[in-house]
Amino acid sequence: MLIDINDVSHRYPGRAKPVVDDLSVRLDERRIAVIGANGSGKSTFARMLNGLVIPSVGSVKIDGLHTSRHGSQIRKKVGFCFTDPDSQIVMPTVAEDVAFGLRRRGWSKAEIAARVHDQLSSYGLDRHAEHAAHLLSGGQKQLLALASILVTEPELLIMDEPTTLLDLRNTRMVADLVSGLPQQVVMVTHDLDLLADFDRVLVFEQTRLVHDGPPAEAVAFYRALMGVDA
C-alpha cells in the first residue's frame, strides 16, 4: 500500500505546541520502522495512518484514500496494534476477542468458530480459547491482540511499540512473528535490535522527521542524536 503524507502538522486541542510538524513522506516498503525519543511524535504519526488521528493541517492518504474522509474504509485495510494489549482486547474471553472482528462479515456462527479455531491454533493459543483474556501472560495477551487484528487479514499493520511491555523472550517471539507476516508493517519502536530486517527507518525528534534511511544508518544517526555511543 502506498502511504502518502503531505505537509502534515498536528496539534491536539488546548495544546500550544504541535505534536507532529511539517511532515511529508511517501512510504511503500514492506517493513518500515519509526524510532525517536519519547514525545517526538511517533505515536501520533502511527495513529494518523489509520485515521485515529486526523491531522490539523495537510493530508494522509492510504492507497489514494484520505484518512479524513474514508476512515472506516481505511480501517478495514489497516490493522493497528497498541502498546498495551489490555487496551486492545475488548472481549472477555480469548476466542470471543478473535471472533469480534469477524462478526460484521455476515458469516455463520460455524464459519466464525472454524476461522477463530484456525487462527488461535496458528498462534499457539487454541488451548486458551475459552479462558478469560485477562488471565493470560503479557506475551500471550500481545499474541492474542495480534491474532485478533490479523484474523481480518488487513493489508497493512501498524504497531505502536508492541514490545515495550514484553520481556526478552516475548519480544523475540513477537519479532519473529512480525517478520513472517505477509502484510506491510509500520512499527514504532524503542527496540533498536528489531530493526535489522526492516527496509526503511524514520527517525523523529521533537515533532519532526529528522532522518529517513536504511536501518544501520538510521540507528547510527539516532544514537548520535541521543548522545549514546554504539
Partner 1 sequence: MMHASLYRPGNSVLHRLPAGLKLSVLLAAGGCSILVRTPTQTTTALGCVLLGYVVARVPARAVLQSLRPLLWVILALGLFQALIMGWPRAFVIVGVIVALVLLANLVTLTTRTNDLVDVVVRLSRRVRLLGMRPESIGLMLSLAIRAVPLVAELAARVREAQQARGHTISPRAFAVPLILGALRRADEIGDALAARGYDD
Range list of H helices, 104-214: 109-122, 138-150, 168-179
Which element (helix H / strand E) includes 227?
none
Helix (H) or strand (E) run with residue 48 in it? helix 42-48
Residue among 40 and 43 whose Cβ is closer to partner 1? 43
Cβ nearer to partner 1, comparing 25 with 113: 113
Letter for the amino acid at 51?
Answer: G
- Residue number, 40 or 88, with CB nearest to partner 1: 88
- For partner 1, the binding residue among 40, 67, 88, 207 (CB under 8 A) is 88
Total chain residues near partner 1 (CB under 8 A):
33
Provide the mask over 46-85, with x wherever binding to partner 1 is found by CB under 8 A and - wherever it is not. -x--x-x------------------xx--xx--xx-x-x-
> How many Cβ atoms sit within 10 Å of the Cβ of residue 21?
16
Q: Tell me what percent of the chain is helix, strand and coil, each rounded to the nearest 5.
A: 40, 25, 35
Q: Which stretch binds partner 1 (CB under 8 A): 9-17, 54-62, 148-156, 162-170?
A: 148-156
Q: Least distance in Å: CB of 109 to partner 1?
A: 9
Per residue in 198-217, is it b (16+ CB within 10 Å) or e — as a string?
A: bebbbbbbebbbebeeebee
Q: Is residue 149 a contact residue for partner 1 (CB under 8 A)?
A: yes
**For residue 53, what is the DSSP state?**
S
Interacting residues toward partner 1 by CB under 8 A: 47, 50, 52, 71-72, 75-76, 79-80, 82, 84, 86-93, 96, 99-101, 104, 130-135, 148-149, 152
